Amino acid sequence: MAKISAAEQLRMDIAQLHGMVATRDEIIAKLEKELASAKSNGSSYLAGLSDLRREVEAVHVLLDAMSNPPPRKAPDSYSEFPIMTRLAVWLASRQHNNGGF
């Protein structure tokens, strides 16, 4: 086995380090792309969620405008009844008041 000179060993070490830096840079670039994609997906999700909340509020306002609307919340609660529950209660009360039961 031939001995490697210190200069040759240094050149090999430097080449190995350059390879490690290139690999690290590729990993960083990949992670930055993934982060940008995740941020974009999060923004899209939040925008969609905001649109849905506006639609839910519009239906609540519609139900509130009807005669004898069911309440949005239970008397001792902070959470709202689901729209479908309110609509079902309103429809059932209309059916009951019109002799449908």
Query: Domain residues of the chain, as ranges?
Result: 7-54, 66-101
Kindly give the residue spans of alpha helices, DSSP state H, lying in 1-101. 6-65, 83-97
Q: Is 98 a residue whose pLDDT tops 70?
A: no
Most confident of 2-6, 31-35, 70-74: 31-35
Question: Do the Cβ atoms of 81 and 70 come closer than 8 Å?
Answer: yes
- Of the chain, the percentage scoring pLDDT greater than 90 comes to 49
What confidence tens digit (pLDDT) does each residue in 7-42 have? 999 999 999 999 999 999 999 999 999 999 999 998
Q: 93 near 68, Cβ under 8 Å? A: yes
Asked if 87 and 62 touch (Cβ cutoff 8 Å), the reply is no
Give the pLDDT confidence score for residue 78 in this predicted structure. 87
What is the pTM assigned to this prediction?
A: 0.55
- Please work out, in degrees rounded to the nearest 5, the angle formed at the alpha carbon of residue 39 by the alpha carbons of 33 and 44: 125
73 vs 60: CA distance, rounded Å: 11
- Rounded to the nearest integer, the mean pLDDT of the chain is 88
Strand partners of residue 32: none
